Amino acid sequence: LAFTVLQGLISITLVGLLVWLIVSVFQDFDKECDSPLKVWVLVGFTSMIYHTIHGALLQYFCVSDQHPLRQLPIWERVHLVVSTFFDLFWLGIGVVWLFQS
């Protein structure tokens, strides 16, 4: 029960942060910035859309089969590790750029 409540609170917080980010980007997109934060936000949005579509495709093609305990193919596991490290790296780059601006 505690995990479910925590996951629900985190999900609500993340949706709120996403809405705030989208509104902020549209309000201030034409303003100049000394760091490439606009690029960071656009890559973040693109990554989020990609991961949403990718997750839906994985759910449809890989999880819907008759073997629920079967692991993902090796190429998919490698892809998930690489994309996760890219997202973490990109988040770190954004934090550095944020503190430099």
What are the pLDDT digits (tens) for 74-101? Answer: 888 898 899 989 999 998 998 888 888 7
Find the mean pLDDT for residues 28-49: 83
Q: How many CB atoms lie within 10 A of CB 87?
A: 15
Q: Which residues contact 44 (CB under 8 A, 6 or more apart)?
A: 21, 90, 94
**Rounded mean pLDDT, 17-44:** 83
Planar angle of CA 57, 8, 56, nearest 5 degrees: 5
Transcribe 20-55 into DSSP letters: HHHHHHHHHTTS--SS-HHHHHHHHHHHHHHHHHHH
Query: For residue 11, which phi and psi values (nearest 5 degrees)?
Result: -65, -45
Half-sphere exposure of 47 (CA within 13 A, CB side): 18
Question: At a CB cut-off of 8 Å and minimum separation 6, what does 16 contact?
Answer: none
What mean pLDDT is predicted for residues 26-36? 80
